[in-house]
Amino acid sequence: MTDTPRSQAAAEIELERLPEKPASRSREILSALLANKLAVAGLVVLAAVLLVGVFYPMIVTPAETNQVDVASRFLPPSLDHPFGTDELGRDIVERVLVASRVSLQVGFVAVGIAVVFGVPIGLIAGYYRGAIDSVLMRLMDILFSFPAILLAIAIVATLGPSITNAMIAIGVVYTPIFARITRGSVLVVSEEVYVRAARSLGSGDGRILFRHVLPNVLPPVIVQTSLSLAFAILAEAALSFLGLGVAPPDPAWGRMLFDGRNFFGQAWWMGFFPGLAILITVMAFNFVGDGLRDALDPKQKSVIESRGQST
Amino acid sequence: MIAFIVRRTLQMLLALFGVSIVVFALIQMVDGDPIRIALGTRFDPELYQRLLERSGLDRPLLEQYFTWLGSAVTGDLGVSFRTGQPVTEMVLERLPATIQLALVALLIALIVAIPAGIISAVRSGRPVDYGVTALSQVGVSMPDFWAGVMYILVFSLTLSWLPSAGYVGLFDDPVAWVKHILLPALTVGLISGSIITRFVRSSVVEAANQDYVRTAKAKGLGEWGIIRDHVLPNAWISIVTVVGLQLGFLLGGVVVVETVFAWPGLGRLALTAVESRDFTVLQGAVLYIAAMFLVVNLVVDIVYARLDPRVRIG
C-alpha cells in the first residue's frame, strides 16, 4: 500500500472526531439539566449571586459599606435596612451583597487550584499506571487522610492567615478528590477502542491524553467542580469565621459572622443574614452539581460527596 | 479475611507514615523561627535555648524528622512552646471530650437519618419524600458554625433552655453533661444526619429495585415485611460504610463547632494552638485527629469486608 501515510492521517482525523461529543449529546445533557427543577433553581440563584458579586461592588464600593454611622447602630431589619445594621451602624444587606464577590472569588480560585493540580495528576497516574501511578496516588491518599477542614486550618495556620493562603489551603485539600476522580475515569477511557486505535496509529502520549482521553474524563470532573465549589465556600466561611481567612474591614460572609459573634444576643440579624447567604449559595451549587451528575450519567444515584469531607 | 486485614493494616500504617511527614512539614513551613514566634513578648534566652534543644529544631532536617518520629511512636510529641507542658498529655486530656461529642452527634444523626431515609425511599416521589429531601439539602448545605450560632440564639439566649457553652464531665453530673452536649451534638449531628439520610434513601431505593424484591412482592408479602426482610438487610452494608466514614469525619470535623460552644476537645486545642502560634501542640492535635481518622476508616473497611465478601477478594 503506497498511500499508507495518507490513510493513516485520514484515520487520525476520523479518530479525532469520535471522542468529541456530537452536538446532540450536549443538547441532550442541557435539556436533561433544564428538566431538573432544582438544578434550574440552582442555576438561577447562582446567576444572581454571580451578577451581584461582579457588579454590586462597582455600584457600592466595599469602602462605602465600611462607613461607620454610630447613630444607626444595631437597627433591626426595616424597610430602610432590610437586614438591619451592625455594631458600627453599617447596613448589613449592602455588606452581604458586596461580600458575595470575595466568597465566590475564594471558591473559584481554590477549586481552580484543585483542578489544575488534581486533573493532570489523575491523567498521568491513570494513563501510565505502574510505579508513577502508585507514587502519585499514595501521595494523594496522604492528603486524603486528613479531615479536610482540619488540614485547611493547619495549612493556613502555618502559612499565616490571609485570603490567599486560605485559597491555597482549600485548593490543596481538594486536589486529591480531582486526582482520584480523573484517574478512575482515565482507567476506563484508556481501554476504549479509539484510544487503543490512536496508540496503534502512533499518536504520541501527549496527543492521546489531551485529544482523546481528557475530553472523555471531563464530565465527572465538571460535576465534582460544582460540588467542590459548594465545599470551598463553606470552608472559606469556616476559616474566616475562625479569623483565618479574609482580613477586616472588607466584608466576607464568614468574616461578618466572626466580627459579629459577640453581638448575636442583642442583634440576631447580624448573625442570621450572612449565614443565610452562605446556605443559599452552597445549596445552589449542590443542586447544580447533582443535576449535572444526573444529566451526564442518569444511571448514577445522587449521593452527595461534596459535604462528606467538610463536616 | 486475615490476609485482607493484614494488607489493609499495612496500608494504614503507610498512610500514617505519610501523615507524619505532612505533620512534621507543617512546622518547617512556618515563616520564621517557630519558637521565637510562639514565645513572642515573653522571650527569654534561657527558655529559648531549652525549647530549642528539646525540639531539636536546630538539627539537620532528616535527623530532626527521625528523632521526632522516634519520640512520636513512643508517645512523646515534645512540649508546648507556650506552657512547657508535654503535648501528649494536653492531647489526651482533650481526647475524651471530642470522642463523646462525635459519638453523641453520630447517635443523633442515626436516630434522624435511618427512619427518614427509609420513609423517603419507600414513599419515593410523594410529599414526604420531597419534604425529607428538601430538609436534607438544607442540612448538607448549612455552615456548621452558623447552625451552632443559631441554636444558641434560639435555645440559650431566647428560650434559656440549654447552656450556650462549656463542658461538664459525664460522671461528675450526667444531667448537666446532657444539657451541655446537646446543642453542639445537634449542630454536627443534624448535618451529618442529612448526609446519611441521602445515603440511606439511595441504598434502600437501589435494594428495592432488585429481582428478589419483585419476587417477594409477587409472592404477596406485605410492603413493610419486604422492606424488613429483603430490602434492609441488603441496604445495610453500604449504610454501615457511610456511617463509619461519618464517624471519622465527625472526629476531625468538629473543630469549628467545638470553638463555637467552647467545647474543650481536640479541635479547640488545635485552634487555640493556632491562635497562640504554639506549633508543637498544633502538630500533636492534627496528628492524633488524622490517626483516629485512619483507624476508624480501617475498622470500617474491615467491617465492610466482613459484611460483603466481594470486597476482600478484590
Q: What would the pLDDT profile of B48-94 be if each residue is shown by its tens digit?
A: 777 777 777 777 778 888 888 888 888 888 888 888 889 999 999 99
Contact check, Cβ <8 Å, A308/B252: no
Q: Does residue A74 contact residue A87 with C-beta atoms inside 8 Å?
A: yes
Which of A145, A173, A256 to substitute to test the interface with B, most B CBs within 10 Å? A145
Residue A115, H or E segment: helix A92-128
Mean pLDDT is lowest, of A245-254, A281-290, B149-158, for A245-254
| Structure confidence by residue, pLDDT tens digits, A92-146 | 888 888 888 888 989 999 999 999 999 999 999 998 888 999 889 888 888 888 8
Alpha-carbon B103 to chain mean position: 9
Taking the C-alpha atoms of residue B262 and residue B277, their distance in angstroms, rounded to an integer, is 19
The predicted model gives B274-280 an average pLDDT of 84
CB A156 within 8 A of CB A169: yes
Per CB-CB distance under 8 Å, the chain B contacts of A265 are 153, 157
Per-residue DSSP letter, B40: G
Peptide bond preceding A22 in cis form (omega within 30 of 0)? no
Contacts of A190 (CB under 8 A, 6+ apart): A126, A127, A213
pLDDT higher at A224 or A309: A224
Distance (Å) from the alpha carbon of B141 to chain A's nearest alpha carbon: 5
Q: Return the closest-CA partner of residue B133 out of B199, B185, B209.
A: B199
Residue in chain B closest to A264 (alpha carbons) equals: B153
Mind telling me how many Å the CA of B252 is from chain A's nearest CA? 5
* Model pLDDT, residue B100: 92
B93 to chain A nearest CA, in Å?
19
User: Shortest CB distance from A147 goes to which of B142, B192, B253?
Assistant: B253
- Residue B298 in contact with residue B9, Cβ under 8 Å? yes
Residue that is written with C-alpha cell 443534624 in the block: B190
* Average pLDDT for B20-39: 79
Tell me the shortest Cα–Cα distance from B5 to chain A, in angstroms: 18
Q: Which chain A residue's Cα is nearest to B192?
A: A311
Mean pLDDT of B251-271: 87
Mutate to test the interface with A, among B140, B187, B201, B238 (most CBs of A within 10 A): B140
Helix axes B127-141, B174-208, angle to 10 degrees: 120
Across the interface, of B29, B137, B282, the residue whose CB is closest to A286 is: B137
| pLDDT band, residue B173 (cuts 50/70/90) | confident
User: Chain B contacts of A282, Cβ < 8 Å?
Assistant: 141-143
Query: What is the reported pLDDT for A134?
Result: 87
CATH superfamily entry for domain A45-295: MetI-like (1.10.3720.10)
Residues 6+ apart with CB under 8 A from B53: none
Q: Which of A134, A150, A228 to mutate to test the interface with B (most CBs of B within 10 A)?
A: A150
State how far residue B216 is from chain A, nearest Cα, in angstroms.
24
pLDDT tops 50 at residue A182: yes
Counted across chains A and B, CB pairs separated by less than 8 A come out at 161
Please say whether the beta carbons of A281 and A100 come within 8 A. yes
- Cα–Cα distance, A77 to B88 (Å, whole number): 49
Cβ distance of A264 and B157 shorter than 8 Å: yes
**Positive/negative CA dihedral, A133, A134, A136, A142:** positive
Give the H/E segment covering residue A53.
helix A37-59
Among A232-246, B21-35, B171-185, the range scoring the smallest mean pLDDT is B21-35
Top residue of B13, B16, B133, B145 to mutate, by most chain A CBs within 10 Å, is B145
Confidence of residue A311 (pLDDT cuts 50, 70, 90): very low
Question: Could you tell me where the DSSP H helices lie in chain B?
Answer: 2-29, 34-39, 45-55, 61-73, 87-122, 127-141, 144-151, 174-208, 211-218, 223-226, 232-253, 255-260, 266-275, 279-307, 309-313
Q: From B142, which residue of chain A is nearest by alpha-carbon distance?
A: A279
Instruction: Choose among B153, B205, B270: nearest Cβ to A150.
Output: B270
- Cβ B145–A308 below 8 Å, yes or no? no
- Interaxial angle between packed helices A148-159 and B279-307, expressed in degrees from 0 to 180 and rounded to the nearest 10: 160
Closest to A49 measured CA to CA, from A293, A305, A291, A283: A283
The nearest CA of chain B is from the CA of A282 a distance in Å of 5
Task: State how far the Cα of B162 lies from the Cα of B164, in Å rounded to an integer.
Answer: 6
Largest alpha-carbon pair distance within chain B? 84
Give the DSSP letter string of B244-256: HHHHHHHHHHTHH
Q: Find the CB nearest A157 among B137, B282, B293.
A: B282
Helices A268-296 & A253-260 angle (0-180, nearest 10): 150
| Closest Cα in chain B to A284 | B141
Which residues in chain B have Cβ-Cβ distances shorter than 8 Å to A138?
14-15, 18
Chain B hits for A306, Cβ within 8 Å: 140
- Confidence at residue B190, expressed as pLDDT on a 0 to 100 scale: 93
pLDDT band at A270 (very low <50, low <70, confident <90, very high): confident
Are A159 and B27 a contacting pair at CB < 8 A?
no
Closest residue to B153, CB basis, from A230, A254, A264: A264
CA angle A290, B197, B193 (to 5 degrees): 110
Buried b (16+ CB within 10 A) or exposed e, A13-48: eebbeebeeeeeeeeebeebbeebebbeebbebbee
Name the nearest CA neighbour of B113 among A39, A311, A285: A311
Say yes or no for a CB contact (<8 Å) between B252 and A159.
Answer: no
* Helix axes A130-144 and A163-189, enclosed angle (nearest 10): 140
Mutation for A interface: B120, B204, B256, most A CBs within 10 A: B256
- Model confidence at A305, pLDDT cuts 50, 70, 90, reads very low
Q: Distance between CA atoms of B221 and B240, rounded to whole angstroms?
A: 26
**Closest CB from A141, A143, A154 relative to B26:** A154
Residues in chain B: 314
A283 to B149: CB separation less than 8 angstroms, yes or no: no
Residue A179: CA count within 13 A, CB half-sphere = 25
- B244 to chain A: closest CA residue: A308
Q: Average pLDDT of B179-183?
A: 92
Nearest Cα of chain A lies from the Cα of B23 at a distance, in angstroms, of: 9
pLDDT, tens digit, for every residue of A21-43?
555 677 777 888 888 888 888 89
Of A70-79, A299-308, B274-283, the range with the lowest mean pLDDT is A299-308
Query: Going from the N-terminus, what domains does chain B have, and what CATH number goes with each?
Result: 96-313 (1.10.3720.10)
Cell of A221: 470532573
Residue B197, number of CB atoms within 10 A of its CB: 28
